[in-house]
Amino acid sequence: MVDDGLIPAHSFWGTTNCNAVNADGDICGVTTTSGLSWKIPGRTGDSPILGAGLYVDNDVGAVGSTGRGEANLYNLSSFLAVEFMRQGMSPLDAGMATLERIRSNTVESRLLNARGLPSFDVRFFLLNKAGETAGVALYGSAETHYAVCTENGAEERPFEGLLEGSPRDA
């Protein structure tokens, strides 16, 4: 429908993730459930499935996601990313390792572009107990920044992308 000009590209996706840690180190997170536009009736999406589109562990950190929810349901990605941080990875390294897991588990031809890479995008927003953050995407080209608010106010930080180019590269 976007390709045919029936709906604007900016209204196709609608999910937002927000994570926070307070001065005592207590952590919270939320991922909205509006999800994929024009979804199949009954499709739940990844947002309300703990461990898929959101996972919070008060001892470690919080991770949420936007993008193709099925990839997160299949890989339990947010739980995986929190577990990587529990093992000592930084938010950035944990996010990249999670994206790499999605890339290596994406083997169905209908989900691969002409380069043999995922034909969809997924983004993760990661926060650890120390307040360190990362925003990572399979493809860093589409969305370039994510928002962070610290004691110094609001700022934008750059996304790190795992793959070059675009999911729809021919």
**128 sits near ligand ASP (criterion: CB under 6 A):** no
Q: What is the 3-state secondary structure (H, E, C) of 104-123?
A: HHCCCHHHECCCCCECCCEE
Residue 39 DSSP code: P
Chain residue whose CB lies nearest ligand ASP: 69
- CA dihedral defined by 100, 66, 120, 91, rounded to 10 degrees? -20
Kindly indicate which of the ranges 13-21, 78-86, 108-116, 156-164 contains the residues binding ligand ASP, using the contact rule CB under 6 A. Answer: 13-21
Bridge partners of 161?
137
Compute CA distances 57 → 11, 52, 89, 106, 128, whole Å: 31, 14, 15, 27, 9
Residue type, 2: V
Q: Which of 7, 14, 164, 168 binds ligand ASP (CB under 6 A)?
A: 14
Q: Is residue 13 within the footprint of ligand ASP (CB under 6 A)?
A: yes
Residues 66-105 interacting with ligand ASP (rule: CB under 6 A)? 66-69
Q: How far is the CB of 27 from ligand ASP (least distance, A)?
A: 21
Please answer whether residues 136 and 66 qualify as being in contact, where contact means their C-beta atoms are separated by less than 8 angstroms.
no
Q: Within positions 17 to 56, which residues make up the interface with ligand ASP, using CB under 6 A?
A: 35-36, 45-47, 53
The reply on whether position 119 binds ligand ASP by CB under 6 A is: no
Nearer to ligand ASP, 89 or 101 (CB): 101
Chain residues in the site for ligand ASP (CB under 6 A): 13-15, 35-36, 45-47, 53, 66-69
